[in-house]
């Protein structure tokens, strides 16, 4: 991993050239990593044209492109893809937070926690699903939802928003009630039945878990509306939880599922929901001034193509696959340190760049 060499963070200025200004390296205090699962350039393009040629993502000043392949597989899944972001290593498909030799890796979220930053995971899937899981759990198979939930209890993560209540409350592999254990650890625990998200009051005095569904949250087309709301509240909450900064990963999880279903309308709706999230996060980052925001995808899903529709201004979306593809995906960055994310990079470099910029 030599990506950190690209960053002029460790340049020492020799005495002879003391009067040469040192390179200005802006370091972020906070990092928000936004992952659009399955969001290739075609998905972004579909959202753009379906929305009058305008997206919040367009405001990001730095853009790059990224390879996404897994260890020994050209086409990655979300587990290996998220482990690359979380830990900076290639691993086998299906693996959560372990390297290719099945050794535990120390994730950027765990590192942030160890350095006193507050941490959070927000997703529109269950919080034990592959993408969020790779930042906080270490298991050989992404299907081990209960083991992933148990790993979450080993951390002091400050904020969790997503589905998957079942894996905490109604476990089949042991008799633990992780909801009670979370409460014993001091968490405020709420769910979609007790408190719908917009009504939820966020007191930063206690860490918080909000479950948006018993298993997987609804798609946007079926009425899920809370992800942009979570994007407003999560950064403010995390900022209050530590004066050392925060790390937040927020995922638009279901762009991928719409791609697997080859449902073009749903792809566009999930893409625009994620772009609404981007808008809220950008509002926070502009106001805050110390937050680096990175947007990327773990892979493309569906082999989506944009073709000319029947009317001259209409779009026909067609799919060539019901699985992921190995197409390069976009990277966007805003804020201190964003310059590091231009050009062509590998998904593992996202980790190394974040780590260097946070000074870990
Ligand atoms: Mg995902
Ligand atoms: Zn997928």
The residue among 243, 218, 298, 241 whose CA lies nearest residue 120 is: 241
| Mean pLDDT value across residues 173-178 | 97
Render pLDDT for 59-83 as a digit per residue (tens, 0 to 9). 999 999 999 999 999 999 999 999 9
CB neighbours of 206 closer than 8 A, spacing ≥ 6?
186, 187, 188
Q: Compute, in angstroms, the gap from residue 303 CA to the centroid of ligand 2.
A: 12
- φ, ψ for residue 179, nearest 5 deg: -65, -45
* Residue 287 CA, ligand 1 centroid: distance in Å: 29
* Burial label, 72 (beta-carbon count in 10 A; 0-12, 13-18, 19+): exposed
How far apart are the CA of 317 and the centre of ligand 2, in A? 18
- Give the residue carrying structure tokens 């997503």: 162
In this model, does residue 251 exceed pLDDT 60? yes
Cβ partners under 8 Å of residue 199, min gap 6: none
Active site residue 78: yes
Percent of the chain with pLDDT over 70: 92
User: How much is the average pLDDT of 110-137?
Assistant: 98
Token couple for 262: 């080859």
Q: Which residue has the tokens 């992780």?
A: 178
Q: 317 in helix, strand or coil? A: strand
Q: Which residues surround ligand 1, an ion (CB under 5 A)?
A: 37, 78, 131, 253
pLDDT of residue 198: 65
Q: DSSP secondary structure string, 234-279?
A: HHHHHHHH-TT-EEEEEEETTHHHHHHTT-HHHHHHHHHHHHHHHH
Span from the CA of 256 to the centroid of ligand 1 (angstroms): 7
Do residues 145 and 164 lie in contact, with contact meaning Cβ atoms separated by under 8 Å? yes
Distance of CA 268 to the CA centre of its chain: 19
Mean pLDDT over all residues of the chain? 93
Q: Which residues lie near ion ligand 2 (Cβ < 5 Å)?
A: 256
Catalytic residue, from 3, 42, 78, 253: name it. Answer: 78
Q: Which ligand is nearest to the CA of 249?
A: 1
Mean pLDDT across the stretch 290-305? 98
Whole-number pLDDT of residue 3? 45
When pLDDT is averaged across residues 300-325 and rounded to a whole number, the result is 94
pLDDT score, position 325? 98
Q: Which ligand is nearest to the CA of 81?
A: 1
**Predicted TM-score of the model (pTM):** 0.93
């Amino acid at each position: 991993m030599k990506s950190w060499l690209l960053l002029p963070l460790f340049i020492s200025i020799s005495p002879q050239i003391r009067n040469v200004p040192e390179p200005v390296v802006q370091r972020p205090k906070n990092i928000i990593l936004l992952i659009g699962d399955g969001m290739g350039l075609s998905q972004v393009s579909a959202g753009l044209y379906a929305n009058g040629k305008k997206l919040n993502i367009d405001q990001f000043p730095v853009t790059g492109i990224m390879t996404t392949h897994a260890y020994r597989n050209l086409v990655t899944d979300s587990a290996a893809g998220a482990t690359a972001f979380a830990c900076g290593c290639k691993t086998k498909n299906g693996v959560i937070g372990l390297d290719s030799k099945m050794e535990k890796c120390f994730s950027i979220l765990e590192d942030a926690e160890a350095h006193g930053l507050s941490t959070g995971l927000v997703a529109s899937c269950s919080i034990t699903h592959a993408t969020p899981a790779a930042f906080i759990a270490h298991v050989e198979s992404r299907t081990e939802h209960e083991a992933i939930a148990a790993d979450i209890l080993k951390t002091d993560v400050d904020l969790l928003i997503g589905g998957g209540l079942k894996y905490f409350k109604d476990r089949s592999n042991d008799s633990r009630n992780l909801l009670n254990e979370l409460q014993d650890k001091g968490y405020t625990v709420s769910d979609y039945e007790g408190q719908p998200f917009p009504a939820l009051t966020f007191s930063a005095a206690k860490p918080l878990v909000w479950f948006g569904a018993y298993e997987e949250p609804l798609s946007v087309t079926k009425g899920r509306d809370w992800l942009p709301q979570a994007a407003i509240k999560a950064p403010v909450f995390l900022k209050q939880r530590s004066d050392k900064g925060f790390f937040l990963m927020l995922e638009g999880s279901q762009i991928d599922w719409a791609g697997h279903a080859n449902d073009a309308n749903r792809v566009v709706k999930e893409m625009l929901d994620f772009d609404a999230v981007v808008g809220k996060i950008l509002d926070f980052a502009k106001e805050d001034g110390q937050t680096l925001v990175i947007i990327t995808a773990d892979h493309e899903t569906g082999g989506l193509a944009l073709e000319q529709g029947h009317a001259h201004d209409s779009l026909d979306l067609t799919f060539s696959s019901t699985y992921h593809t190995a197409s390069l995906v976009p990277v966007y960055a805003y804020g201190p340190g964003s310059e590091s994310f231009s050009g062509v990079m590998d998904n593992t470099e996202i980790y190394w760049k974040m780590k260097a910029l946070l000074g870990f």
